[in-house]
Amino acid sequence: MPVISPGPFTKTLIIREEAKKEAYKYFSEEFSSKKGLVVCDENTEHIARRDFPGLPQMTFEAGAVATDTNGDAAAQRLEDGGYGFAVACGSGSISDITRYAAAKAGIPFVSYPTAASVDGFVSSVAAMTIDGRKATLPSKAPVALFADPAVFSSAPLRLTLSGVGDILGKYISLLDWRAAQCLMDEVLDDKLTDLINRAIDKVLALDPDDPGFAEAVMEGLVMTGMTIQYHGSSRPASGAEHHLSHLWEMHCMSEPTDALHGEKVGVSTLIVLERYKSVPYEDLAAEYIKPKFTRENLSHIYGPLTDGIIGENTPDPLASLTRERIKSAQPEINRLVNELPDIGALRDYMKKIGALTALDEIGLPNTARFKNLSMKYAPYVRRRITLLKILNIKD
């Protein structure tokens, strides 16, 4: 039986042994008269050839990034070849390239994850890099997911720990969503928050040496990914912690690193958590002023990406926020912050399982200046309201 209920778009969810056989059965029943293309990269091409020998492959280079250029190339291949469905055989970037391409080509796709590394396998949005700027684009969720533990459990442990980092980041994304409800009456879905909390609990209950650890991580990632599908945006699963990661991935403040997405999210979660823990000792309304959201204030960080950042934040999502509203909301925000995990305990857990916890471990400057600049400018990566965006204005 599936561990997670099917969603509005992904009607079939198979996370168990022999998922490959289930995939072939699905193809014969749902796509019997259609040609299929497997999208993979150099790291997963051997899996694509082994598990789907009857389907041609489109192989990207190892470490290929989910850009509109790569997505357009895949869409063109799908259209030119007359393919009726696609299979994403890989992890995060391959999933986003495939969902973007399938949406553009107007065909369904199936997710076949090869590592429990990110929560985007069943997402309905694509995290893409366009002209150097990270953007979340409406896209296409897979019609089915087939995840075989024999496949994804054999991936390097580093990839699974990246998935853990992505899941632990939900502590911050949920806090930000609840804070937005307090401050701006944003609609909160308790069923989705409960699903994310179940995903966190599922992962924390096991260690990497435990049997089924990778499977628990995969199940948690699919749970959190389904919240994106249900909500129609990444709001439930992406907050200030992802905004820091996206800022670093734009390479405006630092050189590119080989850190994985979930590794960056795990480190940024600790950074944001430390900042949030000080909130109950502050008067958020006392020093609140409207920000000067101008090119001059942004261009020295975002450079040629500034126009896109300004467009992302126009109109100002905080235009109607007042000191009075912040003052009335702070008691509830304080309560929510106090419910967040102790930063020392969370860091100790991450170190215990081998996850990365510091900026220098992901190839970034481990300095107070870099950390503070990241927190100051990351909130503008998305128009989304987060507590960090409020603190950034106050600070």
- Asked if residue 92 and residue 240 are part of one domain, the reply reads no
Residue 76 is assigned to a structural domain of this protein: yes
Question: Strand, helix or coil at 57?
Answer: strand
Q: Does residue 12 register a pLDDT over 50?
A: yes
- The structural domain count of the chain equals 2
Q: Does residue 246 register a pLDDT over 70?
A: yes
- DSSP class per residue in 197-214: HHHHHHHHT--TTSTTHH
Least trusted range by pLDDT, from 44-48, 117-121, 133-137, 375-379: 133-137
Note the pLDDT tens digit of each residue in 114-136. 999 999 899 888 889 888 888 88
Q: What pTM value is reported for the model?
A: 0.93
Give the C-alpha distances (Å, rounded to integers) separating 354 from 158, 162, 169, 209, 351: 8, 10, 16, 11, 5
- Asked if residue 109 and residue 23 are part of one domain, the reply reads yes
Q: Cα 238 from chain centroid?
A: 6
User: Percentage of the chain surpassing pLDDT 90?
Assistant: 82
- Asked if residue 276 and residue 150 are part of one domain, the reply reads no
Q: Does residue 281 register a pLDDT over 70?
A: yes
Note the pLDDT tens digit of each residue in 345-369. 999 999 999 999 999 999 999 999 9
Q: What is the residue-averaged pLDDT of the chain? A: 93
Predicted pLDDT at 132: 84
Predicted pLDDT at 2: 39
Distance CA 30, CA 371 (A): 49
Of the candidates 155, 177, 194, which is a domain's last residue?
155
Q: Which ranges of the chain would DSSP assign to H, the alpha helix?
A: 19-30, 45-51, 68-80, 92-105, 149-152, 157-168, 170-184, 190-204, 213-231, 240-249, 261-276, 295-302, 306-312, 323-338, 343-353, 368-377, 387-394
Q: Cα 112 from chain centroid?
A: 17
Predicted pLDDT at 122: 94
Predicted pLDDT at 1: 32
Closest CA relative to residue 391, chosen from 285, 311, 301: 285
What is the rounded average pLDDT of the residues 166-172?
98
Task: Please indicate whether residue 295 or residue 247 has the higher confidence score (pLDDT).
Answer: 247
- Asked if residue 177 and residue 98 are part of one domain, the reply reads no
Predicted pLDDT at 289: 66
Q: Does residue 395 register a pLDDT over 80?
A: no
Predicted pLDDT at 394: 61
- Asked if residue 179 and residue 136 are part of one domain, the reply reads no
Distance CA 200, CA 217 (A): 9
Residue range of the domain that includes 335: 169-185+228-394
Q: Does residue 287 register a pLDDT over 70?
A: no
Question: Could you identify the residue written with the tokens 């503070």?
Answer: 372
- Asked if residue 264 and residue 148 are part of one domain, the reply reads no
Q: Does residue 383 register a pLDDT over 50?
A: yes
Note the pLDDT tens digit of each residue in 186-225. 999 999 999 999 999 999 998 999 989 999 999 999 999 9
- Asked if residue 174 and residue 135 are part of one domain, the reply reads no
